[in-house]
Amino acid sequence: MKDRALRCWAEVDGSALRHNLAVVRSRISEETKLVAVVKANAYGHGLIPVAKELVGGGADILGVSNVKEAAELRAAGVVATPILLLSACLPEEFTRAIECRALPTISTYEEAKRLDVAAQKAGVRAAAHFKIDTGMGRLGLWGAEAVKELKRAERLPAVEIEAVCTHFSSADEDPERTEEQWNELMRWRSHFADKKLHVANSAALWRKTVYACSFVRVGLALYGLPPMPFLRRLLRPVLSWKTRITLLRHLPAGRTVSYGAAYVLRKAQNLATLAVGYGDGYFRALSNRAQVLVRGSRCRVRGRVTMDQSIVDVSGVPGCKVGDEVVLLGSQGDQVIYAEELAKIAGTIGYEIVTAVGARVPRIYRNFHFLSQGEEAQRKRKAAEASRERAREARSASSEDSERSVKNRPIAARLTRQA
């Protein structure tokens, strides 16, 4: 598919992804394992291509939200890399987790028991990570209660607690609170001193090196989204988002633009209609406030963003025409629009900007080294399965023909053959 035929698309840069991976690697020791977080479609960048690139680049473990994402990775040929489930499993999902060879994150003995039952049915011993709450309040139990549940889980015959973990709530903005959470975990460390440990997310990785324990869980930084402003100079954005001008018009002063007539032209303007709207993930909250890049110039959104289209003022951009590329997120000329800029306007965070880029927006992958790895293996597996199925059908047909042949023989002939 040629880019020129696209109305609205995202470009994902493998070289930027590998650069960020190298930056993260430089912050941790060789002994520390990197959990590359690819949940939520790899933060909107594309689960399978990004996961393969990260694994090819040296990521040790992949972190996903749920068993569905784990199953997608396994089906796509990511077969050898461990997968950590970062969200709690539903009761019926433990069996699927074992089938996918994924590591559940559990917080209670009850969850461990469900995993144990599923593991015994499958005839395997299942590994899991045990979460302790130190202030996030989302998963895990607190202090002594958590330790009690952990000890009970350790006695289950088919469950192995591979690691203990917690989650910092404010590593990007509150180093004191982060240290308090760390100290709370250390209060209980003697009760699981034999277990591997992980606490650090992207922000914590740059707070203190001591937070980089047995594993680090990094998502945001890999995609070039800085958890703290000073990291902008170190990290490269991986995703850019583009659309095209579909219509150009000159409107006189006094005209209104878009739903609710919320924008009234104070003077005549040249307006461009763009093929992007909130149906693509371009938030309605950006109405009348965000800017886009047209021929290297910043142009402001006029009126309300609609489901499929938006309107911008291109009065200051001579020569623009229908079909011109427009940058919503990324660079053009010497201008750049970062996710943080859109997030500030929309009252949200950079994570949400990129993960919200919709499914109907195709991703174009550039500079990826490992995009085809696993796909060839998957093709071969499918071909082998098809070959085995054809062989089964052939054997079945042969058996049926043989049976019909016997049935169709004269009785005397059959009796003679049996004798």
Helix (H) or strand (E) holding 12: strand 8-13
Q: Decide which of 180, 200, 224 is a domain's last residue.
A: 224
- Mean pLDDT, range 68-94, rounded to an integer: 97
- d(C-alpha 223, C-alpha 42), whole Å: 9
**Whether residue 358 sits in one domain with residue 407:** no
DSSP for 84-118, written as a single string: EE-SPPPGGGHHHHHHTTEE-EE-SHHHHHHHHHH
Whether residue 232 lies inside any domain: the answer is: no
> How large is the C-alpha radius of gyration of the chain?
28
**Whether residue 108 sits in one domain with residue 192:** yes
**Whether residue 187 sits in one domain with residue 78:** yes
Whether residue 266 lies inside any domain: the answer is: yes
**Whether residue 193 sits in one domain with residue 49:** yes
**Whether residue 268 sits in one domain with residue 315:** yes
Number of helical (H) and strand (E) elements in the chain, helices listed first = 13, 21
**Whether residue 78 sits in one domain with residue 196:** yes
- Mean pLDDT, range 93-102, rounded to an integer: 97
Query: Average pLDDT over the chain, rounded to whole?
Result: 91
Give tens-digit pLDDT for 208-248: 999 999 999 999 999 999 999 999 999 999 999 999 999 99
Whether residue 204 lies inside any domain: the answer is: yes
User: Residue 75 phi/psi, 5° resolution?
Assistant: -65, -25
Give tens-digit pLDDT for 41-60: 999 999 999 999 999 999 99
Hey, which residues are catalytic here?
39, 259
**Whether residue 62 sits in one domain with residue 210:** yes
Whether residue 21 lies inside any domain: the answer is: no
pLDDT of residue 127: 98
**Whether residue 220 sits in one domain with residue 115:** yes
More confident residue, 93 or 410: 93
Count how many domains the chain has: 3
CATH number, domain with residue 351: 2.40.37.10
**Whether residue 307 sits in one domain with residue 184:** no
Q: Answer whether 79's CB lies under 8 Å from 112's CB.
A: no
**Whether residue 196 sits in one domain with residue 80:** yes
**Whether residue 345 sits in one domain with residue 213:** no
Give tens-digit pLDDT for 336-380: 999 999 999 999 999 999 999 999 999 999 999 987 654 444 444
Give the domain extent around 327: 239-366
**Whether residue 383 sits in one domain with residue 359:** no
- d(C-alpha 72, C-alpha 100), whole Å: 9
Whether residue 120 lies inside any domain: the answer is: yes
Among the residue ranges 94-98, 261-265, 286-290, 395-399, the one predicted with the least confidence is 395-399
Whether residue 182 lies inside any domain: the answer is: yes
Nearest to 341 by CA among 218, 245, 187, 229: 229
Q: Answer whether 371's CB lies under 8 Å from 51's CB.
A: no
pTM metric for this prediction: 0.86
- Residue 415, pLDDT > 50, answer no
Q: How confident is the model at residue 400 (pLDDT cuts 50, 70, 90)?
A: low
